[in-house]
Amino acid sequence: MVKVSCVEAKEDYVLFVRLSNGKKGFFNVKPYLDIGIFTELRDKNFFNSVNLAFGGVVWPHEQDFSADTFEYEMQQI
């Protein structure tokens, strides 16, 4: 199972993500900012509080993305 091994919040609602299978890249969170629980991520300080948990990434109020989402949707570098 692929897991997120590193996540960093970047400018303009982008995450840098490194996966356990060696893939890495950038994931744009902007398309999610108008959807339900993700609207809270518009607050830049809150967005920057991203952390690793359970093989994916989470924010304090249980917003999350799985490693599978990143593997399929991130712009790989």
> According to the model, what pLDDT value does residue 13 have?
98
Determine the 3-state secondary structure of 13 from DSSP.
Answer: helix
> According to the model, what pLDDT value does residue 18 have?
98
Which stretches in the chain have pLDDT values below 50? none
Positive or negative, the Cα torsion across 76, 33, 38, 34?
negative
Torsion of Cα atoms, 54 then 57 then 63 then 68, to 10°: -80
> According to the model, what pLDDT value does residue 64 have?
97
The pTM for the full model equals 0.94
> According to the model, what pLDDT value does residue 37 have?
96
Write down all domains in the chain, each with its CATH number in brackets: 4-76 (3.30.2020.10)
> According to the model, what pLDDT value does residue 56 have?
98
